[in-house]
Amino acid sequence: VKSSASSQTVNGAKKAYFSTIPYRDVCRIFQEVEATSSRLAIIKICSDFLYHIMKKNAQNLIPTTYLFINRLGPDYEPGLELGLGEGLLMKTISESCGKSLAHIRSRYQEIGDLGQIALEARSVQPTMFKPQPLTVGEVFENLRNIASSQGKDSQTRKIKLIKRMLTACEGVEAKFLIRSLQSKLRIGLAEKTALIALSKALLMNEYENTEEPSMELVEQAEQKIRDAFCQVPNYEIVINACLEYGIMELDKHCRLRPGIPLKPMLAKPTKAISEVLDRFQGHTFTSEYKYDGERAQVHLLEDGTMRIYSRNGENMTERYPEIKITDFVSDLSVTKSMILDCEAVAWDKDLKKILPFQVLSTRKRKDVELKDIKVRVCIFAFDILYHNGEGLINKSLRERREILHKITNPVDGEFQYAVEMTTSNLDELQKFLDQSVKDSCEGLMVKTLDGEESHYEPSKRSRNWLKLKKDYLNGVGDSLDLCVLGSYYGRGKRTGTYGGFLLGCYNQDTGEFETCCKIGTGFSDEMLQYLYDTLKPSAMDGPKATYVFDSTAEPDVWFEPTLLFEVLTADLSLSPIYKAGAAYFDKGVSLRFPRFLRIRDDKSVEEATSSQQIIELYEKQSHQ
């Protein structure tokens, strides 16, 4: 199948997903990884394979890496989400494998894995003639085409493509193809592990070593790749730069560029002003209002266009037609390109004040027409990261602010600077915190102002940015975003819906979800009904291999990880029945008196509060 993507150029990255590597070879590796539990062994299996295919043709690496990490391109490229529904896949498997839909459905009830069902159905199906074996390039391009296929006949086109591939599948190929179509590879290969394997393979290639590179060197290389990826979150560009310039030179070649959203810097929670003062003792620091809206990365491209990206790198420009670059850039003949870090907040034009986050979330996400806008948005800028071809992230915050103020002009109710105050006086800070809440903000962001420690650290949750959220000062200092892993049937008034949920955090090292509480408080009846309807389709017959839980806390229903709850907790305690951070403490950390705040749909499940964050929150609490 010829792909239109092959000839496209996006942000200078040439698309050419050529790879003649047989798809069955990748599937063989998936199968091996699925059967292996040692992380080191998994790294070896994957890196040897990646090295081997790179030797044949380095370009093989790009589609293969994407298949390994279960993605079809960079997050900021639209239309690349697969996650095809079970209904469509069951129908397609049934039609292409000659099994009745009823049979497929009942097998699915029994084993809960469509991939396995496709494998079984294919293996007993006689084939009249043998189609050409699938290649990695072909599968990858087809997956991209299926994901981006839209419009009237898209369903038919998708089914046709899937059927064509299924017919060419042999053995375990059908299993992994179906799982990839569902965006659920389920082989226990965390992205971090895949990245280590990729780094190792690239090193082996670069140094032509017959010996294995040391783990230390591999980790250094992985860090280089991660750092580059934070500035340019596109594996294709990063891999190509590695191949061209060498991994250790990546920082010189993979730098911020307008049109590619970088991963934003994040903050650490704090519980009290005194904690901020302790942490920043001996440093100059500054406080800004913490606005309660949506992160907005504003890019001005060389061609004069503006783009606004969300926290996750989604292009949100059409959502904000009222924001015009010509209104707030002081001189467009001087400023040709820039990247600003901002928060977009709902704004009451008549009362000239900020509206709550809930109001912002009522705005349409697509096809927003200026004339239909009821809730206006004001952009509050707090940082500048790039200006006229120069990355500014390694300048101090004081210098960055100066540049921001020099090249932009605030416009009331459309583009303003985050309100700031530079003081280390406890009373003044307390007053500023109170005032921020009166002005409809969540609290303060406190940031180092001078020197290296005030550099902008893409993607990092840094100790140089502290958040002080007024509402959470009595708890652990922040709310947590946890993944729904299971549920308990409701009783009494809640009969007919789920009455409680089992939640877990995400361990970024292992790719596992570790349970940390059962929650049943904070839900309205409507919310429970909504959750029942939303979660029911993702119910599974048993837990996933990547769920770490105690058998005494098993829920009635297990779910695929699809949804995050933002949760408030009184405090954290060690518990024998929960598993968050258990590898570190022996016992797990759990939330006491958790309370549901809202659904977090702007974060993916891998962006749930991490085990590492929970460990840090617990340690901070017990050292008080």
| Catalytic machinery residues | 290
Q: Which of 29, 108, 13, 12 is nearest to 64 (CA)?
A: 29
Burial of 370 (0-12, 13-18, 19+ CB in 10 A): exposed
Biggest alpha carbon–alpha carbon distance for the chain? 82
Task: Check binding of 395 to ligand ATP (CB under 6 A).
Answer: no
**The one among 267, 325, 340, 535 contacting ligand ATP by CB under 6 A:** 267
| Residues whose CB is less than 8 angstroms from the CB of residue 393 and which lie 6 or more positions away in sequence, other chains included | 231, 256, 385, 386, 455, 456, 457, 458
Q: For ligand ATP, which is the closer residue by CB, 266 or 473?
A: 266
Query: Going residue by residue from 93 to 112, which x/- string records binding to ligand ATP, judged by CB under 6 A?
Result: --------------------
Task: Check binding of 467 to ligand ATP (CB under 6 A).
Answer: yes
Q: Which residue is nearest to ligand ATP (CB)?
A: 295
Task: Check binding of 222 to ligand ATP (CB under 6 A).
Answer: no
**The one among 218, 308, 445, 505 contacting ligand ATP by CB under 6 A:** 445
Taking the C-alpha atoms of residue 401 and residue 383, their distance in angstroms, rounded to an integer, is 6
In the block, tokens 């059967």 appear at 35
Q: For ligand ATP, which is the closer residue by CB, 250 or 360?
A: 360
By CB under 6 A, which span of 118-126, 285-293, 355-363, 431-439 interacts with ligand ATP? Answer: 285-293
CB atoms within 10 A of CB 275: 17
Report residue 410 as tokens: 């605030």
Query: Going residue by residue from 229 to 258, which x/- string records binding to ligand ATP, judged by CB under 6 A?
Result: ------------------------------
CB atoms within 10 A of CB 286: 21
**The one among 17, 76, 235, 291 contacting ligand ATP by CB under 6 A:** 291
Is 148 in contact with 132 (CB distance < 8 Å)? no
Task: Check binding of 382 to ligand ATP (CB under 6 A).
Answer: yes
Task: Give the pairing type, strands 9-10 and 13-14.
Answer: antiparallel
Q: For ligand ATP, which is the closer residue by CB, 212 or 616?
A: 616
By CB under 6 A, which span of 94-102, 228-236, 288-296, 537-545 interacts with ligand ATP? Answer: 288-296
Q: Which of 434, 389, 408 is nearest to 273 (CA)?
A: 434
Taking the C-alpha atoms of residue 353 and residue 334, their distance in angstroms, rounded to an integer, is 32
CA distances from 56 to 19, 63, 239, 287, 336 (A): 10, 14, 16, 54, 42
Q: How many residues bind ligand ATP (CB under 6 A)?
A: 13
By CB under 6 A, which span of 191-199, 289-297, 331-339, 349-357 interacts with ligand ATP? Answer: 289-297
Q: For ligand ATP, which is the closer residue by CB, 417 or 584?
A: 417
Task: Give the pairing type, strands 338-348 and 353-354.
Answer: antiparallel
**The one among 266, 277, 421, 540 contacting ligand ATP by CB under 6 A:** 266
Taking the C-alpha atoms of residue 246 and residue 236, their distance in angstroms, rounded to an integer, is 14
Q: H-helix or E-strand containing 28?
A: helix 23-34
Please, what is the minimum distance in Å from the beta carbon of residue 245 to ligand ATP? 32
Q: How many residues does the chain have?
A: 624
Please, what is the minimum distance in Å from the beta carbon of residue 343 to ligand ATP? 4
CB atoms within 10 A of CB 348: 15
Return the DSSP state at 264: P
Q: For ligand ATP, which is the closer residue by CB, 205 or 436?
A: 436
Taking the C-alpha atoms of residue 192 and residue 410, their distance in angstroms, rounded to an integer, is 41
Task: Check binding of 288 to ligand ATP (CB under 6 A).
Answer: yes
Please, what is the minimum distance in Å from the beta carbon of residue 141 to ligand ATP? 34
Q: For ligand ATP, which is the closer residue by CB, 104 or 345?
A: 345
Interface of this chain with ligand ATP, residues 301 to 320, rule: CB under 6 A: 311
Please, what is the minimum distance in Å from the beta carbon of residue 580 to ligand ATP? 16
Task: Check binding of 468 to ligand ATP (CB under 6 A).
Answer: no
Please, what is the minimum distance in Å from the beta carbon of residue 556 to ligand ATP? 30
Q: For ligand ATP, which is the closer residue by CB, 192 or 460?
A: 460
Task: Check binding of 419 to ligand ATP (CB under 6 A).
Answer: no
**The one among 295, 319, 395, 401 contacting ligand ATP by CB under 6 A:** 295
Please, what is the minimum distance in Å from the beta carbon of residue 383 to ligand ATP? 7
SS (H, E, C) 539-552: EECCCCCCEECCHH
Task: Check binding of 400 to ligand ATP (CB under 6 A).
Answer: no
Task: Check binding of 457 to ligand ATP (CB under 6 A).
Answer: no
Q: Which of 454, 391, 394 is nearest to 422 (CA)?
A: 454
By CB under 6 A, which span of 37-45, 102-110, 287-295, 370-378 interacts with ligand ATP? Answer: 287-295
Q: For ligand ATP, which is the closer residue by CB, 34 or 343?
A: 343
Task: Check binding of 343 to ligand ATP (CB under 6 A).
Answer: yes
Is 86 in contact with 114 (CB distance < 8 Å)? yes
Q: For ligand ATP, which is the closer residue by CB, 56 or 431?
A: 431
Task: Check binding of 271 to ligand ATP (CB under 6 A).
Answer: no
420-421 β-sheet, strand order: 266-269, 461-469, 443-448, 285-290, 420-421
**The one among 418, 505, 568, 582 contacting ligand ATP by CB under 6 A:** 418
Taking the C-alpha atoms of residue 115 and residue 133, their distance in angstroms, rounded to an integer, is 19
Taking the C-alpha atoms of residue 597 and residue 410, their distance in angstroms, rounded to an integer, is 34
Please, what is the minimum distance in Å from the beta carbon of residue 202 to ligand ATP? 30
Task: Check binding of 513 to ligand ATP (CB under 6 A).
Answer: no
Please, what is the minimum distance in Å from the beta carbon of residue 11 to ligand ATP? 24
Taking the C-alpha atoms of residue 39 and residue 30, their distance in angstroms, rounded to an integer, is 14
As beta bridge partners, residue 269 has: 467
Please, what is the minimum distance in Å from the beta carbon of residue 224 to ligand ATP? 24
Binding site for ligand ATP (CB under 6 A): 266-267, 288, 290-291, 295, 311, 343, 382, 418, 445, 467, 478
